[in-house]
Structures are given as structure tokens and as C-alpha cells.
Chains A and B, each alone.
Chain A
Amino acid sequence: MRKFFKKVLLFVTVMALCVGIGTSMVACGGDGGKVLIGVGLYQDAGPAVTATKAFLGGLEDELNCKFEYTTLSQTDEAANKTTVQTLISKGCKGIILTMDLGMSSIIAECEKAGVYIGGYLSDYETTLDSIKDNDNFVGTVVDGAYRGTAWGEHIAARVIAEGYKNIGMIKFPAFAFPHQNEMDTAFRAKIAEYNETAADGDKITVQATTTELNFSTLEASYFSENPDLDAIFAMCAGVDFVYPTMVSAGKTGIKLYTAGFTTSESTLADFGEGKCIQELVFSNVEAITYPVVMLLNKISGNEFADNPAQAERVDSSQIIIENSADLELVRTKSIYCTGKLEDAFLSAADVKALLAENGGTYAKLVETVQSMTIDDLAAL
């Protein structure tokens, strides 16, 4: 028993020493007056992550802030809460999250710690209604458009114009991406409208039931179940989840219209007229300007004159690549591919000008994140 108490005493002494040193270090330490903002991303590597870091890194000095990066779990809400808690412990005053898994406990934690939360490339589908009135939530910018109708109709128009007759349909599960159902419905409606007036030989057949990928690559058996396809509309990230199977199954003769993007040269080599991949789409990393500006306004105690009464879900414009010229433009002029800050739609000074303290308005901020299309890129 004496031994046990000795151990406890030793442990308590070490702890007390550490607490003492720690407390004095906190008192002496700091981040040079810079506002710390945590950024929780859904993955820890890849071109989107590199571009996001390059863009935010370029803002740090001008906005007098520093960004701390971490990776979120896509399945474990307790892990996400721990991640947010660690960011708060590091001294973050604002946090940007790319998903809302575990949000109710996270927002409660932020309320307790006086920290603000903003969303990036996420629609906060399951939680927005419950947190939009919370003073610690500043709103979220969506990965493209919240409603998927427009893109579904756009792809249908392309398919009709390019004369494909047998179309495969692939998407992610509805519980994770509910708006892909809208894309699906809009696509089918447009094709049905075309079929009403088309001659018998020109009618388009669409796969009866859309295949759902549970975040795993497409099974090769898909092609034996759907043997006569001449095009696939993959609403999910097709370059990662569909195209590899098409390559391994020798089915690159089928045309692929899909969301997502890659910087892989071998995949991009199969893009364009007469090749497999016909359309790629990605969201601009510069859309993160929305939560950054909203958070900095909150942290500095400033507010836009036209600030919305409730936190909002805001659409962002996307880069839609439809042909080789578009792809070349993206490869040479987009921060997503070059990783260079000078290729971003917005400079650090542009972002600074959007802050409320510099006369920025909410309408201008929203307009900015919705004005970054392929045409805007060409005009830069």
C-alpha cells in the first residue's frame, strides 16, 4: 500500500510541475496577435486540399490570421467532436468544417468556448435547420448548387445533342447526397420530354433504376448487367469511383459525364472529344472565402449592414469542363491545378476588401463566391 501511495505522490508531483510550467507558458505564449482559424477537411491530401491550403496560406498576412488544418471523420461523430475540441484547445477562435457529422454536440461545444463555426463545400443538410439561429454558426457555402436540378438538365441536354441512346445512371446514396435524387429526376424528365417528340429510332433509353455506390468503386459486373450502354451519367465523383472500373473492364468506349475532377495525367488524357470522359465539374477552393469572411467579421465584432437574420446556406459557382479548351484553361490558370496563389480568383487584398470593417457587404460576398465559372476564369 505504501508503494502505491509513493507512486501516486510521484505522479501528482509530476502533474503539478507540468501544470505549473504549462500555465506559465500559456501566459507567455501566443500567436503574435494573429487570429487562429481551424479548418477541418474531409480528406488530408489531394489537389483540393493542396489548393485550399495554398489559397488560405496566401491570406494569412493580409488578414492577420493563421489557419490550422485537421482531417474529419466521415463516419465517427465523436471523433469529429474531439477534433474540434483540440482545435479549440489550440486557441482557434473560428472553425471551418466540411461536414456536419456530430454538429449538434460540436455547436454546443463552440457555444461553451465562445468559438464560431462556418461550413465549406457542405450543405449541412441534416443540421442546418437546428443551428441556423445559433449565434455561433455563421452559415455554409455549398459544393456547387444546393438544388441539383440545373446540372441534371444540363447533362441531359448534352446527351441529347451528342446523340447517345442508352444511358447508365450512377449516384451516391440518398442519405449522404439527397440532392443527387433531384439531378436524377431532372435528367430523366428532360430525356422523357425529348422522347415524347423523338422518332422511334432516336428515342433515348435511361437505366431504369439508378445504381447507388456506397462510396466504393463501381463493380465490373455493372457492365454485364447493362451491356448496351453508350454513355454514363455518374452524379457521384466518377473519376474516382467509376472511371477506374471502366478502364479495368475495357469499357472506355462508353462516354462518361461526371462530377469531380482529378489532376491525374493518365485520367485527363482520356478527356475530350472522341475520348471517354466528356464532362468534369469541381468547386472552387476560393469559395472558402465565404466562411472565412463571416468568421472574421464575427470574431472582430463587426457585422455586415445587410447581414441575414439567420445563418444561410449559400450556393457557390463551379468550374464545368466540357471540352479540351476548358481543360487546358483549368490546367494552366486555376489554383486547383497550379497550386499557385496568383492563379486564384481572389487575391488576399480582394478578400480583405470583403470584410465588414472594410465596407464589404453580404450581397457582395455572396455574389463573389457565385462568380467563379469557367468563363470568369477565361476572363482573368
Chain B
Amino acid sequence: MEEIKKESKFKKILSAVTTYIRGHVSDVASYAGLVLCLIVFTITSNGRLWSTYNVSVLLESVCVYMIVSLGALFVYAMGYMDISVGAQMGVYCLLMIFIINATGSLLLGFFVMLVLTLLCGAFNGAVAVWLKLPSIVTSLFLMFLFGGIQYLMVESTGSSIVSTDYDFSIFLEPWVIILSIVVVAGVVFYLFNYTKLGKYTRGIGANELTTAQCGVNTTKWKVIAYMAFGVCVAIGSLFLLARTGSAGKGTASSYAMDVMLALILGGMPLSGGMKAKVRCALVGSFTYSLLSNGLILSGVDTTLVYFIKAIIFMIVVILSCRDRSGLLPR
């Protein structure tokens, strides 16, 4: 009799675990992905992953991804995306160099960049709504515009690279990087979970029509969401520039796709909605940086790194996006 009781208890636990996993596939997949990366790369890199130097390198590279991804969370939660972010960051870095070289003031450079990011955010959000265009179209326009500006800015100098002698070393100090990530993540966590901004952006992603019919001015919140993203892009660009103190035609070009990949690796549904969480940006950015760093440290040929990343990405997308009907979400 006791054995039967034990068996039924075990079955109950098993069923509870199975139900939990089924209901939280994306959560489990993203955490499992991160843990798996940590364990596998710790072993395959002969422990080099955790050398003091490599941890500081990881921090440096994860910082930009994490800050930008945290901002992108507001946009992706609405089911939208912004593919202009890479080109924008390239131009902001160049602009900041020009301003710093001309005035010596980092603060002025950052302020100008912040204003521009807010304007671009407002443009991205508002134009898409007013012209009833998919957000990707307006961001595509901005991507080409900023790509062209970036090219012309570098060409105008007659060199392939523009640099500044400004001392950015403070931005590369691990404690500054960690503090910045914690502050940005804290603010985003608060905004996303405890304010109208987070609730409405997730609401728009879940069902825009219902959200609008509940009396929410969706246009206004879309613009605000894009502007919030802009603030994070400005901070991310500052840290990116601090890494090298220089910028060129290709600076940040891969960030648009990298941020999207990081969010998806973190379990962010492409359709946005209520399953969008701050941890998608945190876990995803860390996993993405870890993948790039860990694969090389493990001795994987650089020609295979993209291929392996693509396979891992595909597996995570299939695992995290598959809904109960067995179909990928829209």
C-alpha cells in the first residue's frame, strides 16, 4: 500500500515538473542554454573561460549587448523590431568622436547623442503608426540613412578610421561596467514590471486591439517605448566607443542582428506579449557573448563559429517558440 502511495507521489511530482516545463519551455530552454554553455565551455576551454583576464573581456563585450538588449526589450515586447540600431550606433560613435575632438567634452557628445537617439526613437515609433507601416520598414529606412551617413562621415576624414585621444579607461573598469549594467537593468526591471510602460508594451504585443480598446493610447506608448530603447542605445554606444576610442565604416554594423539573436537566445518570443521578460535580455546577452568567446577559446576553427552559432540559434528558436499547437508563433 505504501509503495503504491510512493509511486503515485512520484508520478504527481513528475507530472508537475512536466507541466511546468511544458508551460515554461522558453524559460527552461534559455536558462538551460546558458548553463550548458557555462559547463561545456568551462570544460572545452580547459578552464580558460574563467581566467581573470577572460572574465574581464567577457564583461567588456557583454556590457554593450546587455544594455542595448535591455532597451530593445520594450520594442520587442510589442512584437516590433528595430534593425537600424547597428547603423545608428556607428553614427553615434563617430559623432561623439567628432564632438570630443572639437570640444574636449564627453558630456556634450553624450548629450547630443542622447537627443538624437530620442528623436530617432520617436521617428521610428510615430512614423510606423501614422503611415501604418510595419515597424521594420521604418527601421529599414533609418538603417540605410544612418549607414549612408556613417560612410560619408568616415569618407570626409580621408581615412578609414576616426579616433580620439580621450581617456575612456574608466568605462573599462570592471566595477563601472557591472555598476552600469546593474543600474540599467534595475531601471528597466522597474519600468518593465511596475509601470504603465512595461504593462502597455506587453499588452500591445499580446493584443494591440484589445489594449487600445481598454483606453490605452497605443501610439503614445509605442513612441515612448522606442524612446526608452533610444536611451539604452545611447548608453550602449558610449561603452562601445570606450572599448577602442575609434570608429569606422563598419563600427557596430552587426549589432542589430546580434541584439535580436541575444533576445531570442534569452527566450524572447518574436511576437512579443506577456512572455517578454527582463531576463530575456540578461540571459540572452550573456549566452550570446559566452558563445562567441567560448567557441574560440575551445579551439573551434573561426570558419565554423558562425555555422555552430546558427545551429544553436535554430535549436533555441525551435525550442522556445514552439507553442502547444506545434506551430511557430506569428
Taking beta carbons and an 8 Å cutoff, which residues of A are in contact with B?
7, 14-15, 18-19, 21-29, 44-45, 69-71, 73-79, 81-82, 85-86, 88-91, 101-102, 104-105, 113, 126, 174-176
The number of chain B residues with a CB under 8 A from chain A is 45
B218 within 8 Å of A (CB atoms): no
- What is the predominant secondary structure among interface residues of chain B facing chain A? helix
Q: Which residues of A contact B51 (CB under 8 A)?
A: 22, 26, 89
When C-beta atoms are compared, the residue in chain A nearest to B50 turns out to be A22
Determine if B50 and A70 form an interchain contact, defined as CB atoms under 8 angstroms apart: no
Complex alpha-carbon distance, A126 and B51, angstroms: 33
When C-beta atoms are compared, the residue in chain A nearest to B57 turns out to be A85
> Distance (Å) between the CB of A248 and the closest chain B CB?
27
Complex alpha-carbon distance, A25 and B301, angstroms: 22
Q: Which residues of A contact B296 (CB under 8 A)?
A: 70, 86, 90
> Provided the pairs A75-B253, A89-B297 are in contact, do residues A23 and B50 lie with their beta carbons within 8 angstroms?
yes
> Distance (Å) between the CB of B201 and the closest chain A CB?
20
Q: Which residues of B contact A19 (CB under 8 A)?
A: 50
Query: In the complex, given contacts A23-B47, A77-B161, A85-B57, what are 12 additional A-B residue pairs having Cβ atoms less than 8 angstroms apart?
Result: A22-B49, A27-B47, A29-B47, A75-B251, A76-B252, A86-B296, A86-B297, A89-B54, A89-B293, A90-B296, A102-B246, A175-B159
Determine if B302 and A18 form an interchain contact, defined as CB atoms under 8 angstroms apart: no
> Distance (Å) between the CB of B294 and the closest chain A CB?
10
> Distance (Å) between the CB of B246 and the closest chain A CB?
5
Question: 0/1 per residue, B207-241, Cβ < 8 Å to A?
Answer: 00000000000000000000000000000000010
Question: 0/1 per residue, B49-86, Cβ < 8 Å to A?
Answer: 11101100100110000000000000000000000000
- Sorted from nearest, which 7 A-B pairs have the closest CB atoms? A75-B250, A25-B47, A22-B50, A22-B47, A29-B46, A89-B54, A105-B244
B243 within 8 Å of A (CB atoms): yes
Determine if B244 and A78 form an interchain contact, defined as CB atoms under 8 angstroms apart: yes
Complex alpha-carbon distance, A86 and B198, angstroms: 37
Determine if A71 and B61 form an interchain contact, defined as CB atoms under 8 angstroms apart: no
> Provided the pairs A70-B296, A75-B248, A86-B297 are in contact, do residues A25 and B160 lie with their beta carbons within 8 angstroms?
no
- What is the predominant secondary structure among interface residues of chain A facing chain B? helix
> Distance (Å) between the CB of A242 and the closest chain B CB?
22
A-B contact pairs, 17 of them (CB 8 A): A23-B50, A26-B48, A28-B47, A69-B301, A76-B251, A77-B244, A77-B247, A85-B57, A85-B61, A89-B48, A91-B48, A101-B160, A101-B161, A104-B245, A113-B53, A126-B161, A174-B158
Determine if A175 and B297 form an interchain contact, defined as CB atoms under 8 angstroms apart: no
B303 within 8 Å of A (CB atoms): yes
Q: Which residues of B contact A74 (CB under 8 A)?
A: 250
When C-beta atoms are compared, the residue in chain B nearest to A72 turns out to be B302
Determine if A18 and B160 form an interchain contact, defined as CB atoms under 8 angstroms apart: no
> Distance (Å) between the CB of B195 and the closest chain A CB?
17
Could you say which of A23, A78, A82 contacts B251, with CB atoms under 8 Å apart?
A78
Complex alpha-carbon distance, A96 and B308, angstroms: 26
Determine if A26 and B253 form an interchain contact, defined as CB atoms under 8 angstroms apart: no
Complex alpha-carbon distance, A86 and B247, angstroms: 20
Complex alpha-carbon distance, A104 and B50, angstroms: 26
Complex alpha-carbon distance, A296 and B48, angstroms: 23
Q: Which residues of B contact A85 (CB under 8 A)?
A: 57, 60-61
Determine if B293 and A86 form an interchain contact, defined as CB atoms under 8 angstroms apart: yes
When C-beta atoms are compared, the residue in chain A nearest to B48 turns out to be A89
Could you say which of B53, B57, B245, B250 contacts A73, with CB atoms under 8 Å apart?
B250
B202 within 8 Å of A (CB atoms): no
Determine if A70 and B302 form an interchain contact, defined as CB atoms under 8 angstroms apart: yes
> Provided the pairs A89-B57, A101-B161, A175-B160 are in contact, do residues A24 and B252 lie with their beta carbons within 8 angstroms?
no
